[in-house]
Amino acid sequence: MDCAVKFEKSVAALPGVTRVSFNTMIGKLKVEGAVSLEAIRGEGRKENYNVFPDHESLAGPVKPRINWEPIRVATALVALLAGYIAEWITVSSAVYIPMYVAAIAIGGWGNFRKAFYSLSRLDFNMSVLMSMAILGAMAIGHWEEGAVVAFLYAISEMLEVWTMDRARHAIDRLMHIAPKAARISRPDGEVDVPVEEIMVGDLMIIRPGEKIAMDGRIIKGESAINQASITGESAPVEKGIGAEVYAGTLNISGSLEVEVTKHVQDTTIAKIINLVEEAQSKRAPAQAFVERFAAIYTPIVLVLALGIILAPSLFLGYDWEPWFYRGLALLVVSCPCALVVSTPVAIVSAISNAARQGVLIKGGIYLEEAGTIQAIAFDKTGTLTKGVPAVTDIIPARTCSEQKLLQIAAALETRSEHPLAEAIIKAAKARHLAWSPAEDFSNIAGRGAQGTINEQKIYIGNPCLFKSLGIKSNLIDEQVALLQKEGKTVMLVGTRQGFLGLIAVADEVRETTKASLAALRRLGIKHTIMLTGDNEATAQAMSERAGVDEYRAELLPQDKVTAIETYQEKYGKVAMVGDGVNDTPALATANIGIAMGGAGTDIALETADIALMADDLTKLPFTIRLSRATLRIIRQNIAFALAIKTIAVLAVFPGWLTLWLAILGDMGATVLVTLNSIRLMRLKPGD
């Protein structure tokens, strides 16, 4: 981690570079400006990084590179053992000392190299401290201990790379989910085309058992699609003509013809990968704290080590060699590896696991925040309910028939995207009615819509709309009240002269809603609130069916923002769960904005802090548990790392801490906190 920061700063200092971002967890460096690749590679060599252009990995498999770390460790071990054996059988020092020196040179080569470049910048980092300890041991004749430290440090580097690779593996799996080519229908037949060359509008042919390479829309065929890679849904989803499919999902049963709707860089899986990568580069509050602490901690320990080396011999008359050795041991144990690694690996593991389960968390700050939420507000339609209401009642006025009323309503709602409009259109089609779209159509925010039919302006909307127009009817009011008590949403249809009738629709509560709210209560979320534009009676009926603690009714979009602010003052940190479209202002106002059904919904991926890729509320308790588990593991890691450092520092003064024990403790702590963090990869919904 320390090397990564220095590498990023070094590249940023190159002439012509305007902006640099280095994501160590996925090994991706983004550089903006005019700079040569060789200049960047030169800075990378100083920190033992191999740099190659991103397009090499995109074009195909990168040429395999020899992994020198195990070879270096094995060679250093052979030299170290040879030195020990030679010294044990009392061979001349002219024989075993060169063997120890060989072990030091081979095991510590990368460390010495980084230390050389760091010293030229007067940067006393981990490599410098380790090199000083090894050279100091050689200076006082502790050849074997210098060799052991170099060897153990080489093992530490190798294990750190291995454990980091484990954390990166989930992202690698995401990157290789979608096929690199697709079968495209051309006038002269079917051909396999690389995804980079596929254009919007091309026709993909997808056979049973094949993965879908691009986002698209089914134009022929029906099949069950396994969408687990995108949404985390365990059960396949049945899809037919007109349904959207996503790159990286698996076609299980039928043959499909799919029209491509997005370029490869715009597919849902590409956006998920990009957002997960960006999330990993955003420092969480705990990570920022650790980095600030480490920046103060290291210089303090360096000064303390110098004090231990110099003070006893200069001021107390003690023999300088034992205290010099103890100072060297303190230099080794002062390396803050475990402390610095304690947080980012946990954050990466949690975010990667969440992405695999269909939960997109857009940064460590949001991951941490989710675990501190005190209350959660839910939009009703499409969140607590299925969002697919059906027409239940059609009550015309005396001057209109049922068929005519539904026909007028369909003409008005044809141009609307509201879920209630879809229910009316569906009911009209079921009755085989014919209509033409209303002219001069416009939405009336939070209340309904208006349009012109046969040169007459007609309105459709909730009772508030008609009250504002000054249109009243006691009979209509009684019918509305009766239907609302049944939990139905009522839409009135009329003109300035009077009512044409009313249409009632009802939405169904999701099967998972009550179970999810119960799971949230078990996690300690004491306040669940439903926010809706429905009237008071409907809202009360729906809140009882859903099982929320509170509700707010008859809310316009701006009213939802006010409601969130009120609950923040009342309860503290509040999350808002919505569809990511109509609820954008409320999502932005809440401490955490959570979008439902993010798959294929660009605005949900862009505006929310967390996106549940499937319409599955059970993933919300999982997200809360994952956040809290992450916070718990980060605290464990920090406490363990600091405890090891404290014990090691205290062991310096009586002379109990040897050089090899210091590096072993530092290495062990680093590996243990990393492995502890990787446990977050195993947390599953329902655990």
Positions marked active-site: 379
**Which 3 state secondary structure label does DSSP give 399?**
coil
Structure tokens at 395: 């009550």
In DSSP terms, 449 is beta-bridged to: 443, 460
Give the count of alpha carbons within 13 A of 351, CB side only.
34
The span from the CA of 199 to the CA of 531, in Å, is: 42
The span from the CA of 583 to the CA of 579, in Å, is: 7
Gyration radius from the chain CA atoms: 33
Residue recorded with tokens 């600091």? 642
| Long-range interactions of 24-32: CB distance < 8 A, separation 24+ | 24/164, 24/344, 25/164, 25/167, 25/168, 25/171, 25/280, 25/344, 25/345, 25/348, 26/168, 26/171, 26/277, 26/280, 27/168, 28/54, 28/277
Residues sharing a CB contact under 8 Å with residue 355, sequence separation 6 or more, in sequence order: 170, 174, 272, 276, 361
The span from the CA of 659 to the CA of 133, in Å, is: 8
Asked if 398 and 473 touch (Cβ cutoff 8 Å), the reply is no
| Burial tier of 623 (Cβ tally within 10 Å: 0-12, 13-18, 19+) | buried
Does an H or E element contain 37, and which?
A: helix 37-46
The span from the CA of 330 to the CA of 334, in Å, is: 6
Asked if 405 and 378 touch (Cβ cutoff 8 Å), the reply is no
Smallest Cα–Cα separation from 533: which of 576, 565, 489, 483? 489
Strands (DSSP E) along 532-652, which ranges? 550-552, 574-578, 592-596, 610-612
DSSP letter for 25, please.
Answer: T
Pairing of strands 256-260, 203-206: antiparallel
